[in-house]
Amino acid sequence: MNFISAIPEQLHSIILLVLVLLSKYLLQSVAPHNPWRFFSFFCQQLALKVNKAENGEQQQQISGFVAVIVTFSPLWIILWLFGDFVEVAWLWQGFLLYMALGTLSIKRDLTQIIKAISASNNYRAKQLLQPLVLRDTKQLSPMGIAKASIEMLVLKHLQQTITTILLFICFDALVAISFRMLLEMHYAWNQKRSAMRFFGQFANLLVQLTAWLPARLFLLSGLVLSFGQQSTLLWRLSMPHFFSLNNGVLLQFFAIALNIKLCGVAIYDGNKLRRTEYNPTGRPPELQDIVRGYQFIDRINFFAVIILTACCALWWAISNQTTL
């Protein structure tokens, strides 16, 4: 009996997840990399080829639907078939999970942004932020940089980490990397860009549907951690957005929890976009709010790990009792 087969089956995914997270964190610390850069470039070039401004709204929507199918299907089939030829299944699952997970260096990137603003080097801070966000950063003030950083932190952590991990645990790595492919298409064809308003609708819908439940579970974890402070207020003000098919409920929650304003006006591809402003009575974000944001996320992550560990232990105990 080898080491892998000796591990209870229900713990395989958890152990593999921990190993992949550690490996990715160490590798990104040594050599920062983005394995999805070429795929993102391909999606952008595909949109330039098939998404014509002179086409009508419905034609652009159809083109976006076809683009998702044509891009996603062959890659998914290749990954699915290739898995049958890999003798060491856990190694293949680990590789797919590594690719599916987002960057684990966001906190390090935000620390560099904070240092740049603290040194009154706003130009450097904007340069560091631009690769992490879709919006234009050239005209951002220090307050705007802080606001964009917090929004990016919340949404990327939800999409690239929380949702990916939940899909892997509940299903497998193929489902997790499938979501990541859809997510990269969503980033490349984001509806906030005027040229992608109709073309990116289908990719956006698939991502929002998939991330809906993970976002609400993440929110409920945050509400539990806020119990006894302002959980009633947080729940009452977040509830109107709870069942909406977007991430507004999370942004509303973090805006209230940190007592700051989030979202509002932003510039994409030179065009000003007026978005919903969350917690408009809050104060403008400051540098320390970035730190408070990722500290709060770390507490939610720790709470989620405790819950997941308890569930696995309970499952293991019940399984062992059943086999006796």
What would the mean pLDDT of 303-321 be, rounded to a whole number? 76
**Confidence check: pLDDT of 6 > 50:** no
What would the mean pLDDT of 189-214 be, rounded to a whole number? 94
Q: What is the pLDDT of residue 324?
A: 53
Average pLDDT, the chain: 88
8-17, 195-204, 254-263: least confident range: 8-17
DSSP readout, 91-134? HHHHHHHHHHS--S-HHHHHHHHHHHHHTT-HHHHHHHHGGG-S
Q: Are 163 and 211 in contact (CB under 8 A)?
A: yes
Tokens linked to 300: 């939610």
State the pLDDT confidence band at 22, using cuts at 50, 70 and 90: very high
pLDDT in tens, 227-246: 765 667 777 777 777 888 88
CA 195 and chain centroid, separation: 23
- Domain containing 231 equals 3-323
State the pLDDT confidence band at 1, using cuts at 50, 70 and 90: very low
pLDDT in tens, 238-284: 777 788 888 888 999 999 989 999 999 899 988 889 888 998 889 99
Total domains, the chain: 1
**Confidence check: pLDDT of 99 > 90:** yes
**Confidence check: pLDDT of 48 > 50:** yes
State the pLDDT confidence band at 323, using cuts at 50, 70 and 90: low
Q: Are 185 and 204 in contact (CB under 8 A)?
A: no
- How far, in Å, CA of 21 to CA of 308, rounded? 16
Q: What is the pLDDT of residue 9?
A: 55
pLDDT in tens, 71-82: 999 999 999 999
pLDDT in tens, 107-161: 899 999 999 999 999 999 999 999 999 999 999 999 999 999 999 999 999 999 9
Measure the CA dihedral 314/318/323/324, to 10°: 100
